[in-house]
């Protein structure tokens, strides 16, 4: 590895439903296990297993996930812009697609701009 190249911080990889997502670890303030909640009949199960709290300056954003899998590096060569076929998923947001080197799994990477757009909307 080139010693003059700055070491990039890892992405925090998490599952939500059937998807894998990643956020830059420098934006993760906290990962909180959600308490077991009593379900209410005839309501959707909105509460997931883990809350991921992101911080950027004074802005905070929290969302739920099923599972936080890992904090891992994704090489630059394994990160690409959102493919045109999936551009509808990226409407108004800033996302890229990454691949895990060992498993070749696809991960939707939520960029800093995605975070900025999400907190500006509130």
- What is the tens place of the pLDDT at every residue in 75-97? 989 998 877 776 565 455 567 88
Token digits of residue 49: 């297993």
The pLDDT score that the predictor gives to residue 105 is 92
What mean pLDDT do residues 31-45 have?
Answer: 69
Asked whether residue 3 is assigned to any structural domain, the reply reads no
The answer, yes or no, to whether residue 4 has pLDDT greater than 50, is no
Exposed e or buried b per residue across 12-37, where buried means at least 16 C-beta atoms within 10 angstroms of its C-beta: bbbbbeeebbbbbeebbeeeeeeeee
Distance CA 49, CA 19 (A): 15
Asked whether residue 1 is assigned to any structural domain, the reply reads no
Asked whether residue 110 is assigned to any structural domain, the reply reads yes
pLDDT greater at residue 23 or residue 116: 23
Asked whether residue 5 is assigned to any structural domain, the reply reads no
% of the chain at pLDDT higher than 70 = 66
Residues 55, 56, 59, 63, Cα dihedral to 10°: -40
Distance CA 71, CA 22 (A): 9
Asked whether residue 4 is assigned to any structural domain, the reply reads no
Q: What is the pLDDT of residues 49-66, one digit of tens each?
A: 788 888 877 888 887 888
What mean pLDDT do residues 12-21 have?
Answer: 89
User: Could you give the number of structural domains in the chain?
Assistant: 1
Range of the domain at 70: 11-35+46-120
Asked whether residue 87 is assigned to any structural domain, the reply reads yes
Asked whether residue 50 is assigned to any structural domain, the reply reads yes
pLDDT greater at residue 5 or residue 16: 16
Asked whether residue 61 is assigned to any structural domain, the reply reads yes
């Amino acid at each position: 590895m080139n010693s003059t190249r700055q070491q990039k911080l890892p992405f925090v990889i998490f599952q939500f439903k059937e998807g894998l997502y990643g956020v830059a670890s420098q934006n993760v303030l906290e990962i909180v296990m959600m308490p077991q909640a009593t379900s209410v009949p005839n309501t959707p199960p909105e509460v997931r297993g883990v809350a991921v709290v992101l911080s950027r300056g004074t802005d905070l954003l929290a969302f739920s996930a099923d599972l936080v899998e890992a904090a891992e590096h994704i090489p630059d060569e394994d990160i690409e812009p959102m493919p045109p076929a999936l551009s509808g998923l990226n409407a108004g947001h800033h996302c890229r697609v990454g691949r895990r080197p060992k498993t070749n799994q696809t991960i939707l990477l939520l960029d800093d701009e995605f975070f900025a757009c999400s907190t500006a909307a509130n």
